[in-house]
Amino acid sequence: MTATTPPTPRHSRSGSGNTAPSQESLRSTVSTVIQATRLTLKEAGIEEAPLEGEVLVRHVAGIDRASLYSDPDRAFSYAEARQLATLVARRCKREPLPYILGHWEFYGLDYIVNPAVLIPRPETETLVEEALIFALPMAQGNRPITIADVGTGSGCVAISLAKRLPHATVVATDISPDALEIAWQNIERHDVANQVRLHEGDLLSSYDGKLDLIISNPPYIPDGEIPGLQPEVALHEPSAALGGGPDGLSIIRRLMEQGSELLAPNGALMIEFNPPQSSVLLSEAHSLWPNAECRVVKDLAGLDRVLVVELEGQASA
């Protein structure tokens, strides 16, 4: 079976005659097309073929899951089949599903994405959770706080914080103008333009002022490991947002140095990282902030994921 045209379901014939199937019996429905699409994706080696097959068909048909279950026999037109065939072919070439759809969910909100930005991932929600645990008590009494989201990409972290911290100002930085364009579209989409300010620049080099919280999902994959990642990542996501140097920590170290000069008293720095980097990163954080609380937080999969440094009333260097 090819990835270019969803197959027409087979129909049995009864009786001794050679009567051709009726037009009604040949009609494709969303349910039959989903089954065929799942099989095509499975044969192409897509791990989540059952889910992705349904998502692609619903995307083309313009229906949600409730509509699918309430009307599984909804007709699937020839025009829809042609559109689906194009999308399935792209997915079989290992283009990530979020780029094909043009959007992806993160922390309860939907974001525009394209190959200029990393795809939002569940492990980064741990970063947002830790930031909110720290910032919500600080924001009590409508106290204004200033947060930097370094390497904002799609803007999903900055926007998630802005939506839950209405008195916060979030400075969202990125070195990529194409990424900042996507971030701006998402900022407008979620109506936080009065809170989130975009800065083009290398990490925090374009910012001058004190920060209550620095948060980042920076490039942290060792450069030599990128070719061995899943094709969806290695071949399609922006390499500048993945590679963190020989050991994956080059950019994180620079950000920590900048943060040591920009954090306000009682401020905090939170950085997502690759689990094998945990002990080295925690040791370096202790060296840079010997009197701060430095700890590592695990993600929902139980893996070390977020470095947290809280100054607890100390002035930064």
DSSP-based helix, strand, coil % in the chain, nearest 5: 45, 20, 40
Asked if residue 292 and residue 224 are part of one domain, the reply reads: yes
On whether residue 184 sits in a domain, the answer given is: yes
Q: How confident is the model at residue 40 (pLDDT cuts 50, 70, 90)?
A: very high
**What's the whole-number average pLDDT of the chain?**
90
On whether residue 123 sits in a domain, the answer given is: yes
Asked if residue 260 and residue 130 are part of one domain, the reply reads: yes
Give me the domain span that covers residue 287. 104-310
User: Residues 192, 163: contact at Cβ < 8 Å?
Assistant: yes
On whether residue 9 sits in a domain, the answer given is: no
The CATH number assigned to the domain holding 214 equals 3.40.50.150
Interior angle at CA 45, CA 44 and CA 47, nearest 5: 130
- Token pair listed for 174: 């990125």
Query: What's the rounded mean pLDDT across residues 203-217?
Result: 94
Q: Which of 187, 143, 140, 180 is nearest to 163 (CA)?
A: 187
On whether residue 165 sits in a domain, the answer given is: yes
Asked if residue 87 and residue 112 are part of one domain, the reply reads: no
- The 10s digit of each residue's pLDDT in 235-287 is 999 999 999 999 999 999 999 999 999 999 999 999 999 999 999 999 999 99
CA 29 to CA 77: how far, in whole Å? 8
pTM for the whole thing? 0.87
Residue 9 has pLDDT above 60, yes or no: no
Asked if residue 162 and residue 305 are part of one domain, the reply reads: yes
Residue 138 has pLDDT above 90, yes or no: no
Domain count, the chain: 2
Asked if residue 257 and residue 177 are part of one domain, the reply reads: yes
Asked if residue 201 and residue 265 are part of one domain, the reply reads: yes
Query: What's the rounded mean pLDDT across residues 53-68?
Result: 96
CA gyration radius, the chain: 24
Query: Is beta strand 196-200 parallel, antiparallel or unpaired with respect to 109-112?
Result: unpaired
**DSSP 8-state code for residue 289:** S
Asked if residue 76 and residue 131 are part of one domain, the reply reads: no
Asked if residue 81 and residue 178 are part of one domain, the reply reads: no
- Token pair listed for 55: 């998502």
Asked if residue 251 and residue 143 are part of one domain, the reply reads: yes
On whether residue 122 sits in a domain, the answer given is: yes
Query: What's the rounded mean pLDDT across residues 209-233?
Result: 96
Q: How confident is the model at residue 312 (pLDDT cuts 50, 70, 90)?
A: confident
On whether residue 316 sits in a domain, the answer given is: no
Asked if residue 213 and residue 108 are part of one domain, the reply reads: yes
Q: What is the DSSP string of 56-106?
A: HHHHHHT--HHHHHH-TT-B--HHHHHHHHHHHHHHHTT--HHHHHTEEEE
Q: How confident is the model at residue 27 (pLDDT cuts 50, 70, 90)?
A: low
On whether residue 151 sits in a domain, the answer given is: yes
On whether residue 121 sits in a domain, the answer given is: yes
Query: What's the rounded mean pLDDT across residues 55-76?
Result: 95
